[in-house]
Amino acid sequence: DLSVDISGLKLKNPIMPASGTFSEDLAEVFDLDRLGAHVTKTITRGWRDGNPTPRVCEVNGSMLNSIGIPSKGVGAFIEKVVPFYAHYETPLVVSISGNTADEFATLCSEVSVPGVAAIEVNISCPNIEEDGKAFAIRPSSTHDVMRKLRAATELPLWAKLTPNTGETSEVARAAEEGGADALVVANTILSMAIDINTRRPKLGNLMGGLSGPSLKPIALRMAYQCARATGIPVIGCGGISTVEDVIEYLIAGASAVQVGTATFIHPTIMLSLIDGLEDWLANQGLSSVKDLIGTVIDG
């Protein structure tokens, strides 16, 4: 049994895409109803152009991005994206962001429509403010924005946290106290790469978020900290490309995982992870993936 429960939202398996690494185009590659959930690219209320190019580069078998949340706005989401996913049974999770807490909360209420099962609140994008600043860097700003978002919707709220903080457990608790129903751990870590011939940063926006295998031990550590610090489900995210990675996150305390960068290399990787997890559980004689969650022996 691969099913998991994220604060009342039942998922048929614990594998879902990370925001921004998944789009409707993948419906041409595989049956989207195989996934545990669908998670959209972050949207904002109004139109956003995004950051200057180049927006991605490769580094150490991992990736930097400074996309800058280009968005067609909430109207396009309601008119095009929600109807597209209505053809599937899998729960739709919409990722949202806002420049101010009030604008964020307005969008939160605007996307609370039939067809949306949960809202992932992106309080952790490293690419929209100087030096990667985001609400989730500090416990106080996390708490304040979560309170406003909580008041704006009755849908489950998943708070996406950032590795760009030294206060992971405190931020996690602040999100929980502010009303988060689950934590997505984590977004990308602010990073840089320079072309030594031109001496120019490889990204148009100079800095960007690191994702892929290099991020995994950091995000895994955070998932463990957040599971210990709070009583709400943790969804692990960061550098997952093998079934062993998935299992490691579950043992650390994650109830589900998101897969991002690996999908750019193998578009059907999430299906292999679902099948691989099922086989691994059977080989271990475990009847439910739930028996694995938080079983790390740390004492």
Binding mask 142-181 for ligand ORO (x = CB under 6 A): ----------------------------------------
For residue 67, CA distances in Å to 29, 51, 121, 175, 187 come to 24, 6, 17, 25, 13
The beta strands (E) that lie in 3-91 are given as 4-6, 9-11, 15-17, 38-39, 56-59, 62-65
Active site residue 125: yes
If the CB atoms of residues 13 and 42 are measured against ligand ORO, the closer one turns out to be 42
Site mask, ligand ORO, residues 86-125, x = CB under 6 A?
------------------------------------x--x
164-186 in b/e form (b: 16+ CB < 10 A) is bbeebebbbbbbbebbbbbbbbb
- Under rule CB under 6 A, residue 260 binds ligand ORO: no
Listed in sequence order, the residues at least 6 apart from 153 whose beta carbon sits closer than 8 Å to its beta carbon are 108, 109, 112, 119
| Among 4, 6, 11, 69, interactor with ligand ORO by CB under 6 A | 69
Verify binding: residue 17, ligand ORO, rule CB under 6 A.
no
Q: Kindly tell me which of 37 and 237 has the beta carbon lying closer to ligand ORO.
A: 237
Q: Assess contact for 43 and 54: CB atoms under 8 A.
A: no
Taking alpha carbons only, the member of 140, 139, 159 closest to residue 149 is 159
Q: Which of 13, 40, 66, 255 touches ligand ORO by CB under 6 A? A: 66
**42 vs 255, beta carbon nearer ligand ORO:** 42
Binding site for ligand ORO (CB under 6 A): 20, 42, 65-69, 122, 125, 127, 187-188, 209
Give the catalytic positions in this structure.
125
